[in-house]
Amino acid sequence: MSEATQTAGGVVPPAVEGIRLAKAFGGVQAVDSATFSARPGEVHALVGENGAGKSTLIKLLGGRLRPDAGEVRAAGRKVELHGADDAHALGIWTVFQELTLLPWMTVAENLLIRREPRGRLGLIDRDRMVGEADRVLTWLGIDHIDPRALIEDLSLAQRQMVEIARVIIQDPSTLLLDEPTSSLGEKEVAWLFELIQGLRADGKCIIFTSHRWNEITSIADRITIFRNGAEVGTFTEIDEDRAVTLMTGRQLEAFYPQPPARAHDRAVLEVEELAGEGLRNASLTLHASEILGVGGLAGHGHRELFFSLFGAQAHSGRIVVDGRPARIRSPRDAARLGMALVPEDRKTEGLLLPLSVRANLTLAVLPAVSSLGLIGGARERGLAQGMVDALKIRTPGLGNPVRQLSGGNQQKVLLGRWLLADSRILLLYDVTRGVDVATKHEIYELMMRLAGEGRALLYYSSDAEELAHLCHRVLVMREGRIAAELSAPGITAEDIVTAAVRESRAAD
Amino acid sequence: MPPIDTPAVPPDPTAAAGGRRPRRGKVTHFLGQNVGLVLALVMLVAAIVLYCAVYWAETQSLPGNFELTSTVNNTMPLVLAAIGQSFVVLTRGLDLSIGGTMDLANALAAVHIHDSPGSMVLWSVIVLAIGAGLGLVNGLLVGVGRLQPILATLATLSIYQGIAIKVLPQPGGSIPPVYTSVLVNPFQPYALLYVLLVALVWYAFRRSRIGVAIFAIGNDEQSARANGIDTVRARVTSFTLSGLFAGAAGLFLAATATAGDATTGNGFTLTSIVACVLGGMNLFGGRGSGIGVIAGAFVTTMIVNILFFSNIDPLYQSFYEGLFLVVAVVLSTAIGRFLRRSR
Ligand SMILES: Nc1ncnc2c1ncn2[C@@H]1O[C@H](COP(=O)(O)OP(=O)(O)O)[C@@H](O)[C@H]1O
Ligand SMILES: [Mg+2]
C-alpha cells in the first residue's frame, strides 16, 4: 500500500473518500450526494442529528452497502466494494453501530472468527484460540474480559470493547467507528481514546461518530457536520453552538425550556422507605404538574428506584398513589395505577422492534381499539397518527417497523404509547441518552407540555445540566438513598454533582 | 467468494506488563455454557438406571450384552437422523423431510443391495449421495429460493415419500445378512463404534470452518454476514449434511429390519426433533451439542424400552411414549432454563 499513499507530487492522498455518494432505502434518501474525505494520521469526527445519514455513509465506506450513485476512493483510487471483505482487503475496517458479535459464542471465537488458529486436520485448535485471544486482550489492556466467556454474558460496554478489539487486531489503515462510545462509561472511553491516539501516531486514519460534544472536541482533528444525508462542512475549530446550529439548520435559542409553573400541590405519588436490591430506604413525594429530577453518580440506585416503582423489581416499603396505598408487584399493576416507565435501553425494554409504529403505539390500549377480539382498523390508525403528529415522530409511515426509526424517535414511540394509555405518572429514565440535539430539544418541550397538562414526571438523567434546567426539584441519590434535595430556581449542574460527591465523603 | 483473510499477526504479547485477572476454569465455563448437554447426559443416566430397575423387577436379573446390543442397534437410525436434524436446527430451521429421505434410502437399499461386497459398497455410496442430493434440494429451496424451512421441507417430505413408494410399493426386498452384521451386528454391540464415529464427526464439525459458519447463522444471521460468512452456502450445506445423515439413517434402518419398508422412516421426522430437544439443542438456533443429541436419541429409545417392561397395554403404548417424551422435554427445558438463570 506504500506506493499508493505517495503520489508523484509527494502529496498524501486521503485515506478514504466518498464522492457525491447517494443511497436510498425505499422512499428515504439516507445519503444524498455526500462528499467526505479523511486523511491518514487524523481523527475525523462525523456529527449530525439522528437520521442524518452518518451510519449509512459509514456503511458505504466500509463496504457494507453499495452506493446508488457516486464513488468510494481509497488512497486516491476509485474502488468497488462488494462487501466488507473488499474493504478489509484495502485495510478499511468498521465497528458498526449495531454490533455484529455472535451472542452465544465465546469472546475468543468472536475475536478470531474466520482466522482461528488451526491444528491437525485443519481443525480449529480451541486452546490455542483462547490463548491467542487472551494475549490480544492483555495487549489491549482489557484482560478483565475472559476469552472463554460468552458474549451474551458480557455487559454492553464489554461487548463494545470486544467489537473494537476485534477490528484493532486487524491492523487497519482506516478505522471507522460508528458511535463507539454510546455504551461506554468514562473509563472505557479513556481506554478507547488512548487506542485511537496510538493509531493516529502510527499514521492511521480514524473516523468516528458521537453525540457527546466534549468527546468530539477532545480527540478530533477535524469535524464534518452532516445534515439530511449530506455534509454541511468540515471544520478544524468550531464551537458547540455553531455546530448545533449547522446540524439542525436552525438557531437553538433557549435550548432548555422553562418548566411550567406548578398549578397544583396535590401529591400523586408518595414513597416511603423503599428498599430492595441497590435501594436503601428511599423516600420521595411527587406532585401533579411537577417535574422531579433524580440525579447523582451512576450506579447509586436510580435504576433500581425506577424499576421498583414500576413493579419490575422486588421491593419493600410504602407506596401511595393518589392518596391510596398501592401494591405494585408487576408492571401491569403499575400501568393500572396510571404509571408509565420509559427506560433508556429501548432495544431490550418496552418496544417491539420488528412491529410497526402503529402496533407499538397502540399496544397498551388494544382492548379499547379492538372489537370482538379483532384489532381495530381505522380507530387504531387514527389514534396512532394523532400521536405521531403530536410528538413529531419522524417515520416514513405508520406501518414501518420501529427498528427503522432513529433512537430519539423510538423513545417518542414508547412515550406515545403511555400517553395514549393516559398515564399520569411518567417515570422517565435517562430518555435523552444517545439522542441527538434536535430530538432532545423536542423531548424537553414535550416534557414541559405534559407537566403543564397536570401529569407528574419523575425524571432521571445522567446529564446534570438537563436536571438543573428542566426540573422543579432535584433529588440527589447516593448508595440507594435520597442524599440531598435541591429546589428551583437556581439549581446548577455543579450543585448536583457537588451534592453527590460531598454526601459521599461525609458518609465515609 | 473472496479468499479467506490471511491470519492476522497478533500484536506483540510481550508488550503487556503486569498480571492478568484470574480466569474461571475451563471446566466451569464448559458446564455453565453447556447446560443442555449436561442435562442430556444426566437424563441418559437416569433412563439407564430406570431401565435396569424395571428390567430387574420383571426378570430378577440385570440387562446384559443382548440388551445393550439391541438398544444400540435400534438407536443407530435415530442417532443419525437426529444429528442430521441438528445441523438444520442450528441454523434456526427444521428439516421435516428427514423421514422421506430415510424412506427412500431404505427402499433403495432393500431393492438394490445384493450379497456381494461390490454391490454393498457401491449402493451404500449411491444411497448416501442421493440423501445428500435430496438435502441439497432442500438447501437450495431455503437458501437460494428463500422459502421457509418448514414449508420447503414439508413439501419435499411428500415428494421424497412418493418416490420411495414408487421404488418399493410393498414392504419387501431383502438386506443381505452380511450387510446387517457389518452395520448392526445382532450379537455384539459393535455398532457402538458407529456412535463413536458420529461423535468424532461432530467434534470435527464443531471445529471446522463450515461448523463455525452454521453456528454463526443461528446466532445472528446479519452479524454472520457482516463477519464475511457466506450465509447462503452455510445454510445449503446444513441441509445437505442433514440429507446425507438421513440417507445413512435409512441404510441403518434397512439393516436393522433386514428388509425394506418405504413407510417406517416417517416417524423419524418427529423423533429426530425430539432427540434434538432432549439433547439440549436450542430450537432457535446457534446453541447445542451433537454429543447431547446422541444422548437424547438414546433417551428416546430407552423410554420405549422402559415402557415395554412396564407391562403397559400395547394399545396405549404410543400414548405413554408421547406422554413420557412430553414430560422429558418439558422437564429438561425447565431445568435448563432454571440453571441458566441461577448462573
Ligand atoms: N436499512 C434501512 N432501511 C430503511 N431505512 C433506513 C435503513 N437504514 C437507515 N435508514 C434510514 O436512513 C436514514 C439515515 O439513517 P442513518 O444513516 O442510520 O442515520 P444516523 O446514523 O445519522 O443516525 C434514517 O431516516 C433511517 O431511518
Ligand atoms: Mg447512526
pLDDT digits (tens, 9 = 90+) for A123-146: 999 999 999 999 999 999 999 999
- Closest listed residue to residue A31, CA positions, set A9, A51, A10: A51
Rounded CA-CA distance A211/A208 in Å is 10
* In contact, A296 and A350? CB cutoff 8 Å: no
* In contact, A245 and A267? CB cutoff 8 Å: no
Q: Give B72-122 as a DSSP string.
A: HHHHHHHHHHHHHHHHHHHTT---TTHHHHHHHHHHHHHHH--SSHHHHHH
**How much is the pLDDT for A1?**
37
A113 and B216: CB-CB below 8 Å? yes
Secondary structure of A82-100 in HEC code, one letter for each residue: CCHHHHHHCCEEEECCCCC
Report angle CA B218, B230, A76 to the nearest 5 degrees. Answer: 130
Report angle CA B135, B140, B143 to the nearest 5 degrees. Answer: 115
Residue A487 clears pLDDT 90, i.e. is over it:
no
Pairing of strands A456-460, A425-429: parallel
Which of A96, A115, A123 is the closest to B208 by Cβ? A123
**How much is the pLDDT for B7?**
37
CATH topology of domain A267-338+424-501: Rossmann fold (3.40.50)
Cβ-count burial B255-278 (b if 16+ within 10 Å, e if not): bbbbebbbebbbebbebbbbbbbb
Q: What are phi and psi of B275, to 5 degrees?
A: -60, -40
| Long-range pairs of A335-338 with CB within 8 A, sequence gap ≥ 24 | A335/A364, A335/A421, A335/A423, A337/A425, A338/A422, A338/A423, A338/A424, A338/A425
- Closest listed residue to residue A161, CA positions, set A195, A126, A203: A195
A333 vs A345 pLDDT, higher one: A333
**How much is the pLDDT for A276?**
84
- Closest listed residue to residue B277, CA positions, set B239, B320, B329: B329
Residue-level length of chain A: 508
* In contact, A89 and A27? CB cutoff 8 Å: no
Domain A5-248 identical in fold to domain A267-338+424-501: yes
Domain that holds residue B109: 31-336
Atom of ligand 1 nearest to the CA of A407: 23
**How much is the pLDDT for B311?**
79
The ipTM (two decimal places) reads: 0.88
A100 and B21: CB-CB below 8 Å? no
Segment A468-475 shows an average pLDDT of: 90
Closest chain B CA to residue A82: B2
Rounded to an integer, what is the distance from CA B19 to the centroid of its chain?
45
Q: What are phi and psi of A50, to 5 degrees?
A: -60, 135
Q: Show residues of chain B in contact with A102, CB under 8 Å.
A: 215-216, 219-220, 223-224, 227, 286
**How much is the pLDDT for A415?**
83
Residue B12 clears pLDDT 50, i.e. is over it:
no
**How much is the pLDDT for A506?**
45
In sequence order, the β-bridge partners of residue A207 are: A44, A176
- Split into its structural domains, chain B has a count of 1
In sequence order, the β-bridge partners of residue A77 are: A74
Q: Show residues of chain A in contact with B33, CB under 8 Å.
A: 106, 150
**How much is the pLDDT for A431?**
83
Atom of ligand 1 nearest to the CA of A436: 23
Residue A369 clears pLDDT 60, i.e. is over it:
no
Domain ranges across chain A: 5-248, 267-338+424-501
Query: Which tens digit of pLDDT belongs to each residue from A405-461?
Result: 877 788 888 888 888 877 889 999 888 876 777 778 888 888 898 888 888 999 998
- Name the band, by pLDDT with cuts 50, 70 and 90, for residue B56: very high
Ligand 1 environment, Cβ below 6 A: A 25, 28, 30, 48, 50-56, 404, 406
Q: How many Cβ atoms from other residues are within 10 Å of residue B294's Cβ?
A: 27
Rounded CA-CA distance A224/A31 in Å is 14
Residue B191, all three cell numbers: 455398532
CATH number at residue B204: 1.10.3470
- Name the band, by pLDDT with cuts 50, 70 and 90, for residue A2: very low
Query: Which tens digit of pLDDT belongs to each residue from A57-95?
Result: 999 999 999 999 999 999 999 999 998 889 999 999 999
**How much is the pLDDT for A243?**
85
Q: Alpha-carbon torsion B198, B199, B200, B201, what sign? A: positive
Looking at domain A5-248, what is its CATH homologous superfamily? P-loop containing nucleotide triphosphate hydrolases (3.40.50.300)
* In contact, A14 and A37? CB cutoff 8 Å: yes
**A216 CB burial (10 A radius; 0-12, 13-18, 19+):** buried
**A258 CB burial (10 A radius; 0-12, 13-18, 19+):** exposed
Segment B148-157 shows an average pLDDT of: 96
**How much is the pLDDT for A5?**
42
User: Which one of B20, B91, B230 would you mutate to disrupt binding with A, by most A Cβ within 10 Å of its Cβ?
Assistant: B20
- Which residues lie below 8 Å from residue B203, measured CB to CB, with a gap of 6+? none
- What are the distances in angstroms from CA A174 to CA A37, A102, A453? 12, 24, 51
**How much is the pLDDT for A8?**
46
Q: Alpha-carbon torsion A413, A414, A420, A424, what sign? A: negative
- Name the band, by pLDDT with cuts 50, 70 and 90, for residue B8: very low
Q: How far apart are the CA of B117 and the nearest CA of chain A, in angstroms?
A: 30
